[in-house]
């Protein structure tokens, strides 16, 4: 740093310095990425299986799922603080603290499940005021009244998952999603269509399949935790003592993380709502392109979780070089994957689009949207993984602020202006989203660079003072 300015390029580590981190990061990230993809698969399976009933059934499941996640996303985000707290405690060798964080996470999950479930049941009675098609409305209301009961197992699953990931135990997370997908398919087949003597419940059957699959996810991870504790001769629930100061620490980290997640998801939901005001071809192209963008983002999302854990464990060990290697390796993985995804979007857009439609108008618009998606892929991956790396350091507030600025103060207003004021249509909307993601990606990569170098300096200073 010279004359008060950051020489950013000189602060980037050489790839050769990161090689030792490649294998442990890949081994941790791969199961988490597969789990994220498994999460998406469940939603796709539900859509495909109810699709045999009627178009209204597809709309009802999609709408009901959107309402559910819109309510649950913040509550699930509050548990993201466990990434930091468990991984840092584990890195410091304090297993008892890991156990206590799990207990506090479970208590928080239980407490949150009560208002979340109540809110969902209440919203199910108000859907008629949302302007939904009457035939879709009846099915969506029935679906939401059942799927609301999956909030509690989903929140417990989130707490169990964060605990296991913080201790670098990730394969069970992948297997939990695999088993949940199996349960979902089987129960869907039985209850949607009335097989094996069961009543044909249609959309309601899909809702019960979702509830049971989420119970299976939570039960699988709880069984994993109890089995590992018995094998190691410890008891994770030996002390059920909870302390208010621990909840304050968890919420101090979890609230900004939950806000960041809600802001990001909300920005794309708002963009979809705005796209709904456009011509059908534009809306269809938007839906297809956003599905592909969401699919590719599952990979850096999984890498972000792995990065948070590896960075957090290094922080717990006071290993500044290890934290730096972990964060930069996670970012490198994201850059490589998202660059590959961008190339696919640029070179084979019509192949991707034809998997959904053969409509010429949708294809023409979709090709342009995938071009824009290719532009922001790299930045989307970087901002997602930088958010995870910063979470490992214990900074969840900065990503929240940059998501608020990038998406809501700049991206969406710019997209609205380009789309509706300058009449560029859905393309303009996507350029606005792209600018927001680019801002977040650049800003958070700079923040990560500064934070990790500040941590390295603090560790060196503490080491020097102890040596004296």
Q: What is the pLDDT of residues 388-447, one digit of tens each?
A: 999 999 999 999 999 999 999 999 999 999 999 999 999 999 999 999 999 999 999 999
- 5 pairs with which residues across the strands? 2
For residue 48, pLDDT over 90 is answered with: no
Is residue 190 a contact partner of residue 200, using CB atoms and an 8 Å limit?
A: no
- Residue 239 has a pLDDT of 64
DSSP 3-state of 4: coil
Give mean pLDDT, residues 86-94. 95
Measured CA to CA, the distance from residue 163 to residue 400 in angstroms comes to 23
Whole-Å CA distances, 116 to 119, 142, 160, 222, 224: 5, 17, 19, 22, 26
Mean pLDDT of the chain: 89
pLDDT digits (tens, 9 = 90+) for 366-397: 999 999 999 999 999 999 999 999 999 999 99
Is residue 32 a contact partner of residue 170, using CB atoms and an 8 Å limit?
A: yes
Whole-Å CA distances, 423 to 60, 155, 375: 31, 43, 21
- 2 pairs with which residues across the strands? 5
DSSP 3-state of 242: coil
Vertex 275 angle, CA 272 and 277, to 5°: 125
Phi, psi of 5 (to 5 degrees): -110, 150
């Amino acid at each position: 740093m010279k004359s008060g300015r950051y020489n950013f390029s000189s602060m980037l580590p050489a790839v050769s310095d990161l090689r030792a981190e490649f294998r442990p990061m890949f081994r941790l990230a791969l199961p988490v990425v597969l789990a994220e993809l498994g999460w998406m698969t469940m939603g796709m399976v539900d859509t495909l299986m109810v699709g045999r009933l009627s178009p209204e059934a597809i709309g009802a499941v999609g709408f009901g799922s959107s309402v559910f996640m819109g309510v649950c996303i913040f509550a699930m985000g509050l548990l993201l603080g466990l990434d930091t707290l468990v991984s840092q405690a584990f890195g410091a060798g304090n297993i008892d603290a890991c156990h206590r964080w799990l207990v506090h996470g479970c208590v928080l999950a239980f407490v949150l499940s009560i208002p979340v479930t109540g809110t969902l049941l209440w919203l199910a009675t108000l859907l008629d005021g949302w302007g939904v098609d009457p035939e879709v409305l009846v099915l969506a209301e029935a679906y939401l009244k059942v799927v609301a009961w999956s909030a509690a197992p989903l929140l417990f699953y989130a707490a169990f998952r964060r605990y296991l990931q913080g201790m670098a135990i990730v394969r069970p997370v992948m297997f939990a999603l695999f088993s949940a997908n199996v349960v979902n398919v089987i129960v869907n087949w039985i209850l949607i269509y009335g097989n094996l003597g069961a009543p044909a419940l249609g959309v309601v059957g899909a809702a019960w399949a979702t509830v049971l699959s989420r119970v299976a996810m939570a039960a699988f991870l709880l069984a994993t935790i109890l089995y590992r504790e018995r094998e190691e001769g410890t008891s994770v629930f030996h002390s059920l003592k909870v302390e208010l100061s621990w909840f304050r620490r968890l919420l101090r980290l979890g609230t900004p993380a939950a806000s960041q997640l809600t802001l990001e998801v909300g920005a794309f939901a708002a963009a979809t709502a705005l796209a709904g005001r456009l011509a059908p071809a534009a809306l269809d192209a938007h839906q297809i392109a956003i599905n592909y963008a969401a699919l590719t983002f599952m990979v850096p999302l999984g890498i972000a979780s792995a990065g948070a854990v590896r960075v957090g464990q290094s922080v717990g060990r006071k290993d500044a070089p290890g934290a730096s290697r972990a964060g930069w390796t996670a970012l490198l993985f994201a850059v490589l994957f998202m660059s590959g995804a961008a190339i696919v979007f640029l070179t084979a857009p019509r192949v991707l689009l034809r998997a959904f439609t053969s409509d010429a108008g949708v294809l023409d618009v979709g090709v342009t949207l995938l071009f824009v998606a290719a532009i922001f892929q790299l930045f989307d991956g970087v901002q997602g993984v930088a958010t995870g790396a910063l979470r490992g350091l214990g900074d969840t507030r900065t990503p929240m602020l940059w998501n608020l600025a990038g998406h809501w103060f700049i991206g969406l207003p710019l997209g609205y202006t380009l789309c509706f004021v300058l009449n560029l249509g859905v393309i303009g909307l996507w350029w606005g989203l792209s600018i927001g993601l680019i801002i977040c990606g650049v800003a958070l990569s700079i923040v990560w660079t500064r934070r990790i170098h500040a941590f390295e300096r603090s560790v060196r200073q503490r080491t020097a003072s102890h040596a004296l």
